[in-house]
Amino acid sequence: MERTRPNILLTGTPGTGKTSTSEELAEKLGFKHLNVSEIVKSHNCHEGRDEEFDTYILDDDKLIDTMEPMVESGGCVVDFHTCDVFPERWFDLVLVLRANTDVLFDRLTERGYSDKKRNENMESEIMQVVVEEARESYAEEIVHEVQSNTVEDMDSNVERMVSWVAAWQANNA
Ligand code: ADP
Ligand code: MN
């Protein structure tokens, strides 16, 4: 697949800042922000809800078929809390956002998560579940882990990505 612009995957535990960072980044770059949770709902890429875990049961094949035409020409910032469902070939860069436990606690509480759901997500962040998933799913040189605790972190992550995209485009022109 030839792309003139790269695709970036922003992943991380819920509450680490994927959507806020993706929105800012996509706007700066003039890229499309693909919020995968919204695509799952709007295109019905699920097989109902898992009531125990309070999440959708993903229909992976339908999700991939739905997203393929959206990502094929590049220029996408893809935002999702899990990263092993996508074909490896889609992404030129994978950014894993991290947050400290106390920060995540406050953000998930503010979001109105149940104690159970909040605890599961905090445990997942502590256990580095998404980082490991990213390292297993993509080439190690394209996976980067960054802190997302403060607004300064977010700004620096966005700036870093903007520079990276400029370099990518210079190399792939
Ligand atoms: P996600 O999409 O990963 O679930 P969000 O982008 O929705 O996370 O962020 C969750 C909350 O945390 C929002 O209120 C957002 O404004 C805040 N937030 C996210 N990242 C940061 C950051 N780096 N610094 C300060 N607040 C942040
Ligand atoms: Mn989000």
Mean pLDDT of the chain: 96
In this structure, are residues 19 and 79 in contact, taking their beta carbons and an 8 Å threshold?
A: yes
Q: Which ligand is nearest to the CA of 25?
A: 1
Residues 3, 164, 64, 140: is their CA dihedral positive or negative?
positive
Give ion ligand 2 contacts, CB < 5 A: 18-19
CA-nearest residue for atom 14, ligand 1, is 107
Find out whether the beta carbon of 157 lies less than 6 Å from any atom of ligand 1: no
**Maximum pairwise Cα distance, the chain:** 49
| Residue 44 domain flag | yes
Per-residue pLDDT reduced to its tens digit, 23-65: 999 999 999 999 999 999 999 999 999 888 788 999 999 999 9
| Residue 172 domain flag | no
Quote the domain boundaries for residue 120: 7-165
Per-residue pLDDT reduced to its tens digit, 93-132: 999 999 999 999 999 999 999 999 999 999 999 999 999 9
Closest C-alpha among 148, 11, 155, 7 to residue 79: 11
From CA 6, how far away is CA 162, in angstroms rounded?
Answer: 11
| Residue 21 domain flag | yes
To test ligand 1's pocket by mutation, which of 107, 109, 110, 148 has the most ligand atoms within 8 angstroms of CB?
107
| Residue 15 domain flag | yes
| Residue 111 domain flag | yes
From CA 101, how far away is CA 108, in angstroms rounded?
Answer: 10
In this structure, are residues 84 and 133 in contact, taking their beta carbons and an 8 Å threshold?
A: yes
* Per-residue CA distances from 109 to 6, 115, 118, 128, 152 (Å): 35, 8, 7, 20, 22
| Residue 81 domain flag | yes
* Per-residue CA distances from 130 to 13, 134, 156 (Å): 7, 6, 21
Q: Residue 1's pLDDT is what? A: 56
| Residue 113 domain flag | yes
Mean pLDDT of 65-84: 97
Domain containing 119 — which CATH number?
A: 3.40.50.300
| Residue 170 domain flag | no
From CA 168, how far away is CA 173, in angstroms rounded?
Answer: 8
**Count of domains observed in the chain:** 1
From CA 146, how far away is CA 12, in angstroms rounded?
Answer: 10
